[in-house]
Amino acid sequence: MAPTNPTEIVTHARLSSVTVPGLDRPAALITLDNGFDHTIPNTFGPGGLASLSEAIDAALAAQPSFIAVTGKPHIFLAGADLGSFATMMTSRDQVLEIGRMGQTAFAKLRESSVPTFAFVNGVAVSGGLEVAMHCHYRTLSSDITTLGMFEVGLSLVPCWGGSQLLPNLIGITPALQVIVQNPLMQNTLLNGRQAAEFGIGDILLEPEDFLQRSLEWAAGVVNGTITVRRPEIDRSATWDAVLGSAKVELDKKLHGAMPSVDKAMKLLALAKDGVTQANLDAEIEALADLAFTPELASSLYAVDLVRRQAKQPTGAPDPALARKVTKVGIIGTDPMASQLALLFTRRLKVPVVLTDPDSERLDKSVGEVHSEIDKQVANGTMSTGSAAELRSLVSGSVDRSAFSDADLVIETVFDDLSVKKQVWAEIEKIVTPECVLVTTTSSLSVTQMAADLEHPERVVGLHFFDPVTMTPLLEIVRAEHTNDATLATAFAVGTQLEKSCVLVKDAPAFVVNRVLARLVGEIFRAVDAGTAPEVANRALDPLGLPMRPFTLLDLIGPAVAAHVGGVLHEQFPDRFGVSDNLSVIASSGKPLLIDDELNPEVVALLTVGNQPLTEEQVRTDVLEALAQEIRLMLDEGVVAEAADIDLCMILGAGWPFHLGGITPYLDHSGVAERVTTRRFGS
């Protein structure tokens, strides 16, 4: 008997008969709709699958000219209702039944003697894309922004035919990208044009009158006036070579940390033989193998964080208190200043003024913003009219009096407390008392920075992450005197910037940098003791982090890492040591890595002890240090709960879903209880 869930928001499959010119019989149109607007997407739970199955049966009984499936406005289908299914996956048999339910319903479209079409009018991910692929033909709307398959990134595999249908539709190389590689790049998805180029759709249509155009095109296919041609799928040894090469690269990156990747690669290998029932059954068995792993539990937790916690940040004040921001001032002309100018201009669409006493640097910085806008016109992501409007909003001034009517001023000057205090002392004399003053410091005390100001209550920290325009996290730092109106304005601006905001206490290095600094500190503690750098660098491979420690260090810069570590050492000398080797690397100016390998010239500079550790010992020390530091951060009230730290590590540092950020991993591995006597979660 099929599992059910009374909490499911059922996506109904509504059947209608449509008369289409050029055909003798009406077409059957099935519209997927859960009864809500596009902010609550269509998803399939047991009720939705049953509704689709019944609608297909009824359509076939009417003997239409063709059957088409489409979605409500802007949404085709956003896959499975993960919340609904998660509560039902209590046994392997139930998991197998969930897989069979979807495959059985969708197979009616694939096996139909009546031509079947998917009119993909909007979001189509995972189960949504699988529905479309079971149809004989597909039209795509050119304004689709979200299409793909994200199961592997959630420690699952496609289970409703996707791993077999997609490679047999578009070939192994693009299918590998969509099913495995894109999900590992923070669930990268395709837009409509990219999907059409991959061959996922048979025709790309403009969104205006999309349904009518799709019906007309389908009629042409049915009456023979339109012939659909698809490239032949290469099933030669190339198929195996592509997967073999990809496996080598994935092993280097993940080191076996994600069982879903291995399962997906095996399913893609099976797909070389075509879409067979045996291979479809293998999909369901693979899902059942993954259903009760800690990686899946952590991934579902992470999904909930990103969907819920990020949209309802703990501790955010009443949004009604936020002040309106109609003009932004930016102090500085470094790369971050340019990125912020572009971000604020694009999202807020208000005048943005950069200042610097050096007119040449200023002109260069404004020019960089204009250049980035021009690039977006060139690649087709922005119209010339929009570009002209944005360029007109960005300007520069050597005179800071240009900030006199600004509602928000943000500084990106050198991360030195005395420098920042001097900047704010000068700015406070220029701006209005209500103007919000924002620091981008990554580690300094915002409270100390504002201590000498007449209005310290309007100072707040916004800690962005590089690249500023793309990384979704924004740590919002409430200083000792920051008032609710300032904080509400910061949250409102963060939301307008399309960032996920987390409220953090004004504590050294806040969240992400403090966790990463403790990690890097433990790695250098091992190196200083005599552990070979390459051994220490490999120690965390089993976690499947996005990069090894020395790659992370190379990315953030040894000098920056040394600076942050120094700030933390002043506050917590018992846990954050000062590594002479890190200082040597920072002052050497030599590249830390060459072709992803440690630079032997840098290694030669190190002075180490005679007590080397094994990879396992280094890994144990790092994990125990992280558990200790996170518990202390929670005890100090740096954030409200462990979920905030996990969200920060996922969105700010790119830590994977299969770790749940970090605290679920520390829990299920036993590290949390061993070090802190209790788990972080329930």
> What is the CATH classification number for the domain harbouring 388?
3.40.50.720
Residue at a domain's end among 453, 488, 505: 505
Structure confidence at residue 81 as a pLDDT band (50, 70, 90): confident
User: Is position 666 within any domain?
Assistant: no
Cβ atoms of 160 and 111 within 8 Å: the answer is no
| Residue 430 token pair | 């220029």
Q: Chain centroid to CA 420: how far?
A: 32
Same domain, 47 and 25: yes
pLDDT tens, residue by residue, 147-156: 999 999 999 9
Domain count, the chain: 3
Same domain, residue pair 340 and 282: no
Q: How many CB atoms lie within 10 A of CB 445?
A: 20
Confidence category of residue 312, pLDDT binned at 50, 70, 90: confident
The DSSP bridge partners found for residue 16 are 29
Structure tokens at 31: 């519209």
pLDDT-derived band at 5, boundaries 50, 70, 90: low
Residue labelled with tokens 């900030």: 403
What is the per-residue pLDDT for 504? Answer: 98
**Span between the terminal Cα atoms of the chain, in Å:** 32
- Assess contact for 169 and 228: CB atoms under 8 A: no
Residue range 443-466, pLDDT digits in tens: 899 999 999 999 999 999 999 998
- The pLDDT score that the predictor gives to residue 258 is 96
* CA distances to 3, 47, 146 from 160, in Å: 16, 16, 19
Q: Does residue 673 fall inside a structural domain?
A: no
- 499 and 537 share one domain: no
Strand 147-148's sheet: what is its strand order? 75-77, 123-125, 147-148
Q: Is 207 found in the same domain as 186?
A: yes
Domain extent for 607: 512-637
* Domain assignment present for 656: no
Would you say 106 and 44 are in contact if contact means Cβ atoms under 8 Å apart? no
CB 330 within 8 A of CB 355: yes
Q: Are residues 292 and 345 in the same domain?
A: no
Residue ending a domain, choose from 440, 475, 505:
505
Query: What residues contact 545, with CB distance under 8 A and at least 6 apart?
Result: 655, 656
- Residue ending a domain, among 252, 276, 303, is 303
Give the mean pLDDT of the chain. Answer: 95
Structure tokens at 288: 């059942």
CB contact at 8 A, 558 and 582: yes
Place of tokens 């392997």: 92
The answer to whether the CB of 663 falls within 8 A of the CB of 645 is yes
- Taking a C-beta distance cutoff of 8 angstroms, is the pair 520, 561 a contact? yes
**CATH number of the domain that residue 266 is part of:** 3.90.226.10
- Read off the pLDDT of residues 618-667 as tens digits, 9 standing for 90 and up: 999 999 999 999 999 999 999 999 999 999 999 999 999 999 999 999 99
3-state secondary structure 220-245: HHHHCCCCCCCCCCCCCHHHHHHHHH
Q: Which tens digit of pLDDT belongs to each residue from 523-568?
A: 999 999 999 999 999 999 999 999 999 999 999 999 999 999 999 9
Residue 86 has pLDDT above 90, yes or no: no
Mean pLDDT of 43-55: 96
Would you tell me how many other CB atoms lie within 10 Å of the CB of residue 596? Answer: 11
pLDDT of 662 reads: 98
Q: Mark whether 484 and 425 lie in a shared domain.
A: yes
Segment (H or E) for 353: strand 352-355
Q: Give the amino acid at 419.
A: V
Residue 1 has pLDDT above 50, yes or no: no
Q: What is the DSSP string of 603-672?
A: HTT----S----HHHHHHHHHHHHHHHHHHHHHHTSSSSHHHHHHHHHHHH---GGGTSSHHHHHHTSHH
User: Helix, strand, coil: what percent of the chain each, to 5?
Assistant: 50, 10, 35
- pLDDT over threshold 70, residue 617: yes
Decide: helix, strand or coil at residue 32.
Answer: strand
Residue with token string 């604020």: 344
608 within 8 A of 527, measured Cβ to Cβ: yes
Is there a single domain that holds both residue 87 and residue 19? yes
Residue 493 within any structural domain of the chain: yes
Residue with tokens 């740096």: 638
Does a structural domain hold residue 680?
no
pLDDT for residue 7 is more than 80: no
What pLDDT is recorded for position 592?
94
Name the E strands within 19-74.
27-33, 67-71
Same domain, 114 and 232: yes
Query: What sections of 224-358 are H helices per DSSP?
Result: 237-254, 259-270, 277-290, 294-304, 335-348
269 in a structural domain: yes
pLDDT of residue 603: 94
Instruction: Report pLDDT digits (tens) over 219-256.
Output: 999 999 999 999 999 999 999 999 999 999 999 889 99
| Same domain membership, residue 196 and residue 53 | yes
According to DSSP, the β-strands at 27-33 and 12-18 are antiparallel
Q: Please check whether residues 499 and 516 belong to one and the same domain.
A: no
Domain at 524, CATH number: 1.10.1040.50
State whether 262 and 352 are in the same domain: no
pLDDT at 3 over 60: no
Whole-model pTM over 0.75: yes
The answer to whether the beta carbons of residues 542 and 619 sit under 8 Å apart is yes
The verdict on residue 396 lying in a domain is yes
Q: What is the pLDDT of residues 331-383, one digit of tens each?
A: 998 999 999 999 999 999 999 999 999 999 999 999 999 999 999 888 877 88
| pLDDT (average), residues 277-288 | 97
Residues 532 and 495 reside in one and the same domain: no
Residue with tokens 């007119």: 359
d(CA 342, CA 371): 10
Q: Is 230 exposed, middle or buried (0-12, 13-18, 19+ CB in 10 A)?
A: exposed
DSSP string computed for 539-562: TTGGGT-SS-HHHHHHHH-HHHHH
Dihedral sign of CA atoms 151, 154, 159, 164 in order: positive
Provide CB contacts within 8 A for 506, sequence distance 6+. Answer: 445, 446, 447, 461, 477, 478, 479, 480
Taking residue 146's Cβ as centre, other Cβ atoms within 10 Å add up to: 19
Separation CA 607–CA 536 (nearest Å)? 15
Write down the pLDDT at residue 379.
Answer: 81
- Specify if 411 maps to a domain: yes
Strand order across the 436-439 sheet: 394-397, 352-355, 328-331, 408-411, 436-439, 459-463, 473-478, 500-505
